[in-house]
Structure 1
Amino acid sequence: MATGHTDPQRRERILAATLDHIADEGVAGVSHRKIATRAAVPLGSMTYHFSGIDDLLREAFTRFADHIVGVFERQLDHADGPQQVREAVTDLIHTLSEGPRRDLILTQELYTLAARRPEYRELTQAWMGRSRDLLERHFDPDTARQLDALIEGLTLHRALDGAPHGRELTRQAVDRITSISTP
């Protein structure tokens, strides 16, 4: 098998395997051995690329947060004007809630870690800051904060509800929060 120096994708495979493992078994099941097996890399690669499990988890969750921020960017970047932005936020909520179940699980696993451990709380705060910055391109800071909370809450509710609400209810919620805000 190639060494870390001749296998430039090894680190990426380890991070991807970590997120896949967390989505399948949760953070509690993460170990160097399990991730190395899943990534099809030698066990020694784990300590070569990461200083420990926390380093691995922080990097993996940072990659995941980058992915979700990318979803925000794709939905919001081309919106111009208040009504288009409201539609983009509505689309974002539905994209996230109807997207891969894996993303929902990873989000909740990260939130659980953040509730218990300050270093993960910092990661989630940075993630929220980035999503709010994107929303603040269109809304004042208070409205952006409210919308960010709405996006997270409605995404979770829609994803877990046996009969999720439709676009009209989402649109009404977005309209209510943004009706007094001037983009």
Structure 2
Amino acid sequence: MSGGTKRNDPERRQRIIEATLDVVAEYGVTGTTHRRIAAAAAVPLGSVTYYFATLDDLIAAAFLQLAEQSSEEFAKRMAMAGDRDSAKAAIVAIIAGSIWATPRTLLLSYELYAFAARHPPVAAVMRRWMSNSRAALERFFDPLTARALDALVEGIGIHNSIDTEPLDEDAIRMIVDRITGMDNIMRQN
């Protein structure tokens, strides 16, 4: 046996995935390379290709992690709601707060949607993310309203990230009230 021993790095694969999200946030999917990921993860270039057969496989794994983490945070926040009014407050907090509206998460989400449009396995991840969000919302709202609220969460976040006059929390609350007020009208009919 040679004088050195091979060191095991059980977190290396995870570091590579997290570095991929950092690289995608900085350079976009089109500017993401194996070399940039290896440098960001502080691993040899060969480690990236050892764990992931293709760059698309690695990007898909990173986006899967992003979707799962975002979905979990959304579900946790909605699970804290005990009634319809607290669910509405949770939606406002999700839109206006740090769960969805961080600049990094928004950038990654833009990239994720574009990547998913061209990669069916990632589109399936997106559909699961939407399904999980809607299920959390359907505890308090009918399926159509839940779908509208799900789209609202992402839509306002995206618009606010580039709008010169982003909606503030009060405006977001008014919009949520209007959408959920329509839900009440539909349930009465």
| TM-score where L is the length of structure 1 | 0.90
1:41-56 → structure 2 map (5 Å cutoff): 41-56=43-58
Listed as ranges, the matches of 1:1-183 within 5 Å are: 6-96=8-98, 99-181=101-183
Structure 1: 5+ residue runs without aligned partners? Answer: none
RMSD: 2.2
Aligned residues of 1:19 and 1:60 also touching (Cα < 8 A): yes
Query: Structure 2: which amino acid aligns with 1:46?
Result: V
Separation in 2 of the partners of 1:93 and 1:175? Answer: 14
Q: CA deviation at 1:60?
A: 0.2
- For the 8 Å contact 1:97–1:159, the answer to whether it is kept is no
Contact 1:113 1:120 in 2 (8 A): yes
Structure of larger gyration radius: 2
Given that 1:135 and 1:144 are in contact with CA atoms closer than 8 Å, whether structure 2 keeps it comes out as yes
TM-score (structure 2 length as normaliser)? 0.87
User: Aligned partners of 1:153 and 1:102: how far apart in 2?
Assistant: 16
Q: Identity over aligned residues, as a percent? A: 42
1:123 alignment partner AA: V
SS in 2 for 1:60: helix
Give, in whole Å, the separation in 2 of the partners of 1:2 and 1:98: 44
- State the SS of the aligned residue for 2:53: coil
Deviation string, structure 1 residues 109-151 (Cα, Å, up to 9, x no partner): 0111122332322221111111111111221211111110111
* Structure 2 residue runs without a partner (length 5+): none
Q: How many residues align?
A: 182
CA contact (8 A) 1:90 1:174 kept: yes
| Residues 131 and 109 of structure 1: CA distance in aligned 2, closer, same or farther (over 3 Å) | same
